[in-house]
Chains A and B, each alone.
Chain A
Amino acid sequence: MKIATLCGMGFGTSMMLKLFILEILKDLNMKAEVVPWDLGTFKGQQADIIVAPMDMEMHLRSTSAKVVLIRNLVDKQELRSKLVPVLEAYQGS
């Protein structure tokens, strides 16, 4: 499973999201590759799940990946409640 986190430059906001996702995966005892992406180069790349700030929704309308949009990026509860069902659905599929 490959999870991408998206932001404008690929090493600020998306890196922070990556750190949180790694913690959640660890808690769930799940393994996945987590890669930060930037807006300039993400098109054409493949991931199973993309996690991004809500304000980036417009950039993600044409992707085939499952998209998880986060409002408060430092709220682990929000991230967990949105991401875990997607992870479980992916594992079950």
Chain B
Amino acid sequence: MAVGLGDLLTEKTIKLNAQAADWRESVRLAGELLVAVNAVSPSYVEGMIRVVEELGPYMVVAPGIALAHARPEDGVQRMCMSLVRLVSPVEFGSRANDPVDLVFAFGAEDKQGHIQALQELAVFLQNEDAVTALRQCDSVQEAVQLIRDYSRKGEVDPTD
């Protein structure tokens, strides 16, 4: 069975009502959740920040939503994902989608193994009701449940 979104975004890897002074701190917070569950090394967190610095803010994929990651060789122990919801949004410099209040971070061991989880995240993020509920929910338990409810497997076979 492929690892899905509900296996990765758990009570340990979601942080609500976080405070970050700027985008770097928001990415660091999301990365630290992954370090805390021994899924990535601290160097990976710095890698995610470096990617934004070097390649630009294109990973702010939708209004208010960033999808941060670095390369497997930056220090991924196992496939993982985290979510930080900020109290006050931060600017990534994205002309399309700033400011950001939801920061997803992920680590992939290779370029294929995370596709199921990514697909489920895509299904979740496409659903405006789901994203609104995620922005408004009061507890991490609620957030976990929302993600499980709304991220059912999509229909596309990525190997098509």
CA distance A55 to B51 in the complex (A): 14
Report how many A-B pairs have Cβ atoms within 8 Å: 91
- Decide yes or no: A22 and B115 within 8 Å by CB, A9-B69, A11-B108, A76-B126 being known contacts: no
- Let me know if B56 and A74 touch, CB within 8 A: no
- Let me know if A9 and B51 touch, CB within 8 A: yes
Contact residue among B96, B119, B125, B157 (Cβ-Cβ distance under 8 Å from A54) = B96
Neighbouring B residues of A39 by C-beta, 8 Å: 55
- Decide yes or no: A8 and B118 within 8 Å by CB, A13-B61, A72-B63, A74-B62 being known contacts: no
Chain B interface size, as a band, is 35 or more
- Decide yes or no: A13 and B59 within 8 Å by CB, A19-B122, A22-B160, A53-B96 being known contacts: yes
Neighbouring B residues of A73 by C-beta, 8 Å: 61-62
Contact residue among B58, B63, B155, B160 (Cβ-Cβ distance under 8 Å from A13) = B58
- Residues of A at the B interface (CB closer than 8 Å) are 7-13, 15-16, 18-20, 22-23, 26, 39, 52-56, 71-76
